Chains A and B, each alone.
Chain A
Amino acid sequence: EVQLVESGGGLVKPEGSLRLTCAASGYSFAQYDMNWVRQAPGKGLEWVSSITTSSHYIYYADSVKGRFTISRDNARNSLYLQMNSLRAEDTAVYYCAREVGVALRFAHSDIWGQGTMVTVSS
């Protein structure tokens, strides 16, 4: 079964750091681009970051640029999101998603994890 499982969420103080992990199974992780998408409580979906198969291309939303770092370890079938200088407005459920398409411009997220909650509060 194709599956994505996020972990690493929790409660963190403002200006703190957290590292999220997305464990992929049931498919060849190295062959797919990956995304992080978040959803603040009661709000809509917000794209956070994308990374291509070999990590050659990486993109970030302006709201997290300079604070978050996306990475992947194809040997471990894992995607990561290092979050630094966290703010209250980063409070959200964070989803990882698999991208399918010849390029990110024409891709879609066909598999999503269940999400992990990140709460930034003092």
Chain B
Amino acid sequence: QSVLTQPPSASGTPGQRVTISCSGSSSNIGSNTVNWYQQLPGTAPKLLIYGNNQRPSGVPDRFSGSKSGTSASLAISGLQSEDEADYYCAAWDDSPNGRVFGGGTKLTVL
């Protein structure tokens, strides 16, 4: 059972907008920043969003992040077939001290 809660799956058609939620608590999302990672099949995770809503260089602006209270969301607009991957949210948890991940959301592009 993951500390951060994500839906196990999400789907959309090309061009659509999809959102993935991540629910936590006051000791993790409520107190610290949220990061999102994309993992393509058979590869290492890749940083997608950091600091709640910042995109690293090279990440398309189709990807955006937001946070409110103890929840966070990842939005993908203009869905493309290459966005099909697993997405994980992560945050530091103050009690006990440690990084926590969501269980991951498998995104399918129909």
Residues of A at the B interface (CB closer than 8 Å) are 35, 37, 44-47, 50, 59-62, 95, 100-101, 104-110, 112-115
Contact = CB atoms under 8 A, between A and B. Distances in A.
B15 interface: no
Contact of B99 (A50, A95, A112, A115): A50
B92 A104 contact: yes
B24 to A, nearest CB: 13
A110 B33 contact: no
A46 B90 CA distance: 10
B97 interface: yes
B56 A110 contact: yes
The majority secondary structure among interface residues of chain A is: strand
Interface size class of B (residues with CB under 8 A): 20 to 34
Contacts of A109: 35, 37, 45, 47, 90
Contacts of B45: 37, 45, 95, 109, 112
Contacts, number: 67
Interface of B: 2, 31-33, 35, 37, 39, 44-47, 50-51, 56, 86, 88, 90, 92, 94, 96-104
Most buried by A among B46, B94, B98: B98
A27 B12 CA distance: 39
A45 B98 contact: no
Contacts of A104: 92, 99
B98 A59 contact: yes
A38 B64 CA distance: 26
A59 B104 contact: no
A42 to B, nearest CB: 11
